[in-house]
Amino acid sequence: MSAAPATSVSPASAGQAQQARLAGFGHYLLAEWTKIRSVRSTIWSLAIFVIATLGLTALFTWLTVHAIQTGRAPRRSAELATDPVDFILGTGLGLGQLAICVLGVLTMTTEYSTGVIRASLLAVPRRLNVLAAKAVVFAVLIFVIGEIAAFCSFFIGKILVSPVASVSLSQPGVTRAVIGAGLYLTVLGLFALAIGALMRHSAGAIAIVIFLVLIAGGLLSLLDSYDWGAHIHAWFPTVAGGYITAAQPAAGQLLTPWQGFAVFCGWTALLLIAGGYVLDRRDA
Amino acid sequence: MIEARDLTKRFGSKVAVDHLSFTVQPGRVTGFLGPNGAGKSTTMRLILALDHPSSGTATIDGKSYVQLANPLRTVGALLEAKSVHTGRSARNHLLFLAQTQGLPASRVDAMLDLVGLRDVANKRAGTFSLGMSQRLGVAAAMLGDPQVLLLDEPVNGLDPEGVLWIRNLMKRLAAEGRTILVSSHLMNEMAVTADHLIVIGRGKLLADAPTEEVIARGSGQSVRVRTPDADRLTAVVTAEGATAVPASNGNGTPATGQHADGAPVLIVTGLPAARIGELAAASSIVLHELTPQLATLEDAFLELTAGSLEYGHLDAEPADWSAR
């Protein structure tokens, strides 16, 4: 490679370094924003999230409505009529949320796999600040994208279901469910980020999060015939968190939508605290 | 100024850094020398608070690293292990680091110019060659115009041009009054770069002295003597308590001890050249050559670290065990 210019290190530039202000948490937020926007996995994950969510919402809603109209799915018809919002948000977001899980994990684990965590911690040796700033920036980003996706999904679904059901934001619980979908995605992203902070390895952390989101809830529903089992199911983080995306609570649901969301937030806070503890105590 | 006090780090039952105490003064290049696995990288990571010490303290200008308000403006570090996201551009890597310190973006461009990476600033760091990565590491270390610099094996894998560049950079920074601690397992590199040496082996301090002193202390002063009357000279210097052995030809095989003119060559240790000359004159022994031999840093180093090698002997190509 070519020789670097043998200019002096400081004279011209020392001024810039010295006149700089003392940095604080606001600067850490700015730095984390630079980090998250400057890697391709962020762009790809969010693009896949939006395209998959809106595309699948349109596809499954259209297919279901068509099936109902041609008399192929009488049971679906009843489901759609009771809570069209839950149906609409459950199709595209149900799968699109996996992209948020992956992004949440990678945001933390790529720091370790690439070694940039060392640079991050040299710059901000009070390590909890790194995790806190990262969590805040990530949450704001996912909240904005999540709400946009939730509202777009809702309006796409609303138009497509109009032949068989009518739904609007003014109906009880509907606005809360749509806003709640964005909130659920935000906390889900933080949940994944916290597991990434705890595990430090992408593959293992992604596997665990996807198991918890897609499989564990279904398995636990098998316990619903027992009283204690129903409680375990209802208080399970990803299950409790999902209650907020339905306009009306399902029959026999043990937690209200906001209670469920609070439970999900509680689990996520615990995991973030554990992740922060691990980050602070372990050698980097 | 960097200060380590009784610094100890255990990994399970293995003691990587063993009650290490030293001070690194400003205004000179301090070499941190030791065989692979001696604990150099771990010591640097302890100073930088990346690892937590089992006991003891490490401070920079009297403060622990964690206590520094904007650490990159006090301390710059070039670690041996990779610390750049392969998918992020060089500019964005430096930019986020600058932002954590409240430094302006113009400082990023200044550093890219300094290390000659301006043209590839927007390329992903994963595409960089080893030399370019090393330059990016230097840019990150210099970002906050720090008074203290820690460089872990900075010339590893660099081409001669890159080695020269790093060497001159370190000397210039030291001349500006900064504190420079640079680790290496390459003794000859340290001999031409460092003003002062801290030598460790198996985590323990072996030497903390000016480079010349380490060299001088490392092996006894020896003198190369060529004389047709080797037997008599050997007897004379041995009587004074010195030892004289036929010179080896440098690669360990038995010495020929011969020169073009046929006179055998002796290596005398334990007496200065002047005294050998006087003894020869007193006994009327003809000398063809009388040359004081300077011990190399390598000799000194081998002597110091003998018995403290973590992984076999040094002749073997040093594998990079300390990389993490």
Q: Which residues on chain B are in Cβ contact (under 8 Å) with A122?
A: 48, 50, 71-72, 75, 77, 83
Q: Which residues on chain B are in Cβ contact (under 8 Å) with A21?
A: 102
Domain assignment present for residue A145? The answer is yes
Return the percentage of chain B with pLDDT > 70, whole number: 86
Whose tokens are 């973006």? That residue is: B105
B126-154 pLDDT, tens digit per residue, is 999 988 999 999 999 999 999 999 999 99
The confidence score (pLDDT) of residue B307 equals: 62
CA gap B231, A218 in Å, rounded: 95
CA gap B93, B89 in Å, rounded: 6
Quick one: average pLDDT of B14-41?
93
Q: Which residues on chain B are in Cβ contact (under 8 Å) with A111?
A: 85
- DSSP characters over B144-162: T--SEEEEESTTTT--HHH
Quick one: average pLDDT of B73-88?
92
Q: Any idea what DSSP says for residue A151?
A: H
Domains of chain B: residue spans and CATH: 2-74+146-216+300-305 (3.40.50.300), 220-294 (3.30.70)
Amino acid type, A69: Q
Domain assignment present for residue A231? The answer is yes
A162-213 pLDDT, tens digit per residue, is 988 889 999 999 999 999 999 999 999 999 999 999 999 999 999 999 999 9
Pairing label, strands B2-11, B179-184: unpaired
Domain assignment present for residue A10? The answer is no
Domain assignment present for residue A2? The answer is no
Domain assignment present for residue A251? The answer is yes
Chosen for mutation from B68, B74, B82, B85 (greatest number of chain A CBs closer than 10 Å) is B85
Cβ neighbours of B206 (radius 10 Å): 20
Domain assignment present for residue A5? The answer is no
Domain assignment present for residue A54? The answer is yes
The confidence score (pLDDT) of residue B316 equals: 41
C-alpha dihedral (B208, B157, B172, B132), degrees to nearest 10: -140
Say which range, A50-59, A232-241, B204-213, has the weakest mean pLDDT. B204-213
Cβ-contact B162, B176 below 8 angstroms:
no
Quick one: average pLDDT of A150-157?
96
Ramachandran area for residue B204 (φ above 0: left; ψ -120 to 50: alpha; else beta): beta
Domain assignment present for residue A103? The answer is yes
B171-200 pLDDT, tens digit per residue, is 999 999 999 999 988 877 888 899 999 999
The confidence score (pLDDT) of residue B254 equals: 42
Of B50, B68, B95, the CB nearest to A118: B50
Backbone angles phi and psi of B274, in degrees to 5:
-60, -40
Confidence of residue B48 (pLDDT cuts 50, 70, 90): very high
Give, in order, the Cα–Cα distances in Å from A120 to each of A32, A112, B94, B311: 10, 10, 11, 32
Backbone angles phi and psi of A134, in degrees to 5:
-65, -45
* 3-state secondary structure at position A215: helix
B209: pLDDT strictly greater than 70: yes
Inter-chain touch B49–A125, beta carbons under 8 Å: yes
Q: Which residues on chain A are in Cβ contact (under 8 Å) with B110?
A: 12-13, 16
Q: Any idea what DSSP says for residue B63?
A: B
Give the ipTM of the model, two decimals please: 0.88
B21: pLDDT strictly greater than 70: yes
Q: A252: domain range?
A: 23-281
Start-to-end Cα distance in chain B: 27
Rounded to two decimals, what is the model's pTM? 0.83
Inter-chain touch A27–B48, beta carbons under 8 Å: no
Whose tokens are 């593959």? That residue is: A203
B51 shares contact with chain A (CB less than 8 Å): yes
The confidence score (pLDDT) of residue A217 equals: 86
**Is pLDDT larger for residue B267 or for residue A102?**
A102
Q: How many domains does chain A have?
A: 1
B248: pLDDT strictly greater than 70: no
Of A16, A24, A34, the CB nearest to B106: A16
